Amino acid sequence: MAWVNELPVAAAFAALFAIVMLRANATYWIGRGLRAGAAHSRLGVGFVGRSTPRAERLVASWGPGAVTLSFLTIGLQTAINAGAGAVRMPMHRYLPAVVLGSLIWATIYSALGTALLIGAQHLLAA
């Protein structure tokens, strides 16, 4: 992703935002697909039980916060987005959370990249 450092900050931000939105939404839909596939297999008994509706309600209400905050972590984004898909978090709750999280992530990475690039230029100039 070194090419991002060569872009203007706004373009780098837009590129990073698009990349993370695509990745997060793909992970969500993979989670949904795995849930649907598992429901039609012998594994489905373990995935869908009496507590599943309660878990789905819990994720529908508290999950958007977890989705947004997952973008501040390293390594949890994939699990949380796939989990949101697997428990079928409603899209009207998921999309605002993933957009906000992606904005946060793109801001952090584009600002950090810019700061590191400027710092490296100052070190090399000294």
What lies within 8 Å, CB to CB, of 103 at 6+ separation is 17
Q: With 0-12 CB in 10 A as exposed, 13-18 as middle and 19+ as buried, what is 73?
A: exposed
pLDDT in tens, 22-81: 999 999 999 999 888 877 777 666 666 676 777 777 777 888 999 999 999 988 899 999
For residues 84 and 111, give the distance between their C-alpha atoms in angstroms, rounded to a whole number. Answer: 28
103: nearest Cα among 58, 59, 72: 72
**Alpha helix stretches (DSSP H) within 77-125:** 77-86, 91-125
% of the chain residues with pLDDT over 90: 44
Q: What is the pLDDT of residue 111?
A: 84
